[in-house]
Structure 1
């Protein structure tokens, strides 16, 4: 998909610190268009690309969603990957905040630049949410100047933002700096329904139960495994939409929902909390913060006949309140799915 805006758009390159950018790049070097056709929607454009792909002449396509009249579906015969395509994008938009302007794809946080611009990208099977809309009035246009001159002129004019076209050396001094990331480029063979965050797919099925209040899903195992094997089993259940891991629990409400899923029989269930790396320093396997605990009275005690108890279980005999236990014991387990955020991936 390829949305066109009234103002210059920007792309963050997937190198360096992906979540911290102070330069927004976008000058993508699109190849020559093989053919351009009108399409009513992106699905039709994708189908057109499929037809041309049979003869090897569609490797990538763009769809201009706001251009509903005219040739808004462009077919490209370009054998490349989305990361390679991104690497060729070199147009930059940067904020005008004294020294907080750098022409690169790294971010240096200083007292003059306390935060960095982040414009989400995601590469899912060739689908790339890549560009940002810059909204606001253009204060001044300076054609044919260097980037350094553009930076200087926009500072003198007290612009809020610079838009600089590197190939044409055109400089736009912008009055505002609002950025909205909405542009996509799609590689042939990509399932946009998987990659488009607007097309959500429920995590619930015959093996997963969704909590409607949070949109999170939980799987209760029917077989026993050691804690590490249970962790691996949960990770293997990730898919194109959701990451799966041993369950992390962050509130009494979430704990109550999980308890209602557990069978009323004498079974123990692994969760993701553990202090394997450092005794007494508990972490969740999914990397989330430990903001809630539900220990049984006297736990954790790391007491099992001299064996280390580094992994957390929820035993029926404790009304599923938490207990530390030896990680090599085989138990049932609880997995949890969280939605993949392609906007920030």
Structure 2
């Protein structure tokens, strides 16, 4: 019944009144092949009732496709600007067919892990990190970004989005929950386009927004849900129950990298700066009462001069595989657990001017 259920869902999606929802489904509906469908159903172990439901679902999907295709023609006749909008789905679908063909090995690896992760065996989800990272990292290494937001957008688009989602799930299942959380955090800064339907959806939104900017009374408005990996992140979190799952951030200029086995210790430069020197006296005004019932009072502080202080970010330890491209003088932003000071580079710039990214999520950018 899998084919029948899939077609029924397509029919339900096509039944949406929103024009973008109709258009998103149109490339699928236009490719429904009756002969191929009948051949598939014939090979299933269905009784008469099951075959009837499957064929009925197929017929409903085709009927709705023709209905909405006709509606689109009427809309174009009334408003020519709809023509370019309704041409987007087929163009995007064709683009994704090429992406799929050009990146078959990587996508196959990602989908194979996806099947394992959501399969019946928890053990099958483990032991994936190194192999999947070797598939994922070369794609991240190709990111060309002038700034951090551009890198985040590249992470959440097309093949990168597919691979990074599976990398997040794998990390969570394979004892790398801190890294899983880091990937998820990066996804939160931009919407994710990880397949043709989402590609169509956001391309149409962009087109509608552009049209409205020129013609305020254009009779369609975008409906957009900005978010990250949703259900996949929630599933990943189910593995991330230890206290090291969520990290803290830090940023400093690298002074020295010291390799040690599978790790690299990073120490940071000392910074000297002038600060106000204060003289404080306690008042009788309550500032805070802590959980133990201890009362803390406000202080009255006044500057009495200036003094020089030396600040230095505490050293961190990262996996050797994540240290590519790092060297003295880089400005590094990292994501670590608190107690052990172990973690990963989030983004590393060539210098403190932040004009060139050399490492993103532990991958050296080429």
| TM-score higher than 0.5 | no
Higher RCO (CA-CA < 8 Å; seq separation 6+): 1
> Which structure: greater helix fraction?
2
TM-score by length of 1: 0.25
